[in-house]
Amino acid sequence: MALIVVTTSPRVAPGLFAPAAWKALTGGRVLTGTPDHPCLPYLDEAGVRVEVVTPDPGAIARASRTETVVWLAAQDGDEDFMRAVGHAVISLDEPPEIEVVPGSYDLPGARLLDLVQVMDRLRRECPWDRKQTHESLVPYLVEEAYEVLETIDEGDYGAPLREELGDLLLQVVFHARLAQERMGTDGDGFDIDDVAAGIVEKLVRRHPHVFADVEVSGAGEVSDNWETIKAAERAAKGETGSVLSGVPMGQPAVSLAAQLLRRAGRAGAPGVLAEDLATPAGARLFALVREIQDAGLDPEAELRAAAREYRRRVEEWEDDRR
């Protein structure tokens, strides 16, 4: 006969089983070592009898020689127990077949639920995480964003980029967790679902050529529509109608100048407004940013490339001196 192991994901609502899992669960004697398995009430409602037993690898292996035994694994996979069952099966003279049937599959993005749970536990149990505030986390948020930028600059698109994106994602989840603690106490609390819902609504609203019946001729028209929709959103909030509204003035100066010029240019602001600015040195830098941008280049990226090259040359010079 056979031993069929049915696994389930803790990130999928209990009771949602794949067809192959239902076939297995209704085709043999079903056992589990998890008395509080979240799927048990749903199986009982469906008329599937599940015996809760004390996990005994040898007994399970022997029973599966003469009948089909279905083991409903704990949601952590019962790895140690199943490894012991495997050893017990191998030791039998006539070992039964073992088949693993996934009862449910994670949807894309399901592991984000794990991150939320880990963050909740850290906030409760870790002294360092427990004392953090939005303000205390600001340096880490900026640092992680720059580390993502560095991996992209260096072309590390594999594991390094994945790791740095994870560190940045943690900052988003951390801030959302802090805000969640204010829910019910004042009017500015929210949670990670509110964050996700907000960006989903914004993306749908700003992509009518994807989610509605608006037609576009190319990326340029998409960008124009985006700015028009943003202006309408600002007006609806009662914000100033300036095309420069929302530009973060605290960003690095080169990227700040480039973004201001880009926004003003889209609005048709005359070029003379960028001349004779406050200080001669600042005016020269601003003019250079404008010149580079007019050439179709990214001033921030160009300066970073030059800085990397300069760093390489200094390091080579240091090596030659040693």
The string of DSSP codes covering 87-111 is: HHHHTSSSPPEEEEEES--PPTTTH
Going residue by residue through the chain, which has 322 residues, state the pLDDT in tens, using 9 for 90 and above. 899 999 999 888 888 999 999 999 999 999 999 999 999 999 999 999 999 999 999 999 999 999 999 999 998 888 899 999 999 999 998 899 999 999 988 888 989 999 999 999 999 999 999 999 999 999 999 999 999 999 998 899 999 999 999 999 999 999 999 999 999 777 789 999 999 999 999 999 999 999 999 898 999 899 888 878 887 887 787 776 677 877 888 888 999 999 999 989 888 899 899 988 888 999 999 999 999 999 999 999 999 999 999 999 999 999 999 8
User: Phi/psi of residue 154, each to 5°?
Assistant: -90, 0
CA distance 192 to 197: 9
Distance of CA 207 to the CA centre of its chain: 21
81, 57 in Cβ contact below 8 A?
yes
User: Phi/psi of residue 107, each to 5°?
Assistant: -80, 160
CA distance 143 to 153: 15
The string of DSSP codes covering 248-313 is: -TTS-HHHHHHHHHHHHHHTT--GGGGSS-SSHHHHHHHHHHHHHHHTT--HHHHHHHHHHHHHHH
275, 283 in Cβ contact below 8 A?
yes
The runs of H, that is alpha helices, within the chain are 19-25, 40-45, 57-63, 79-90, 111-125, 127-130, 134-153, 159-180, 192-206, 208-211, 219-236, 253-266, 280-294, 299-321
CA distance 265 to 273: 11
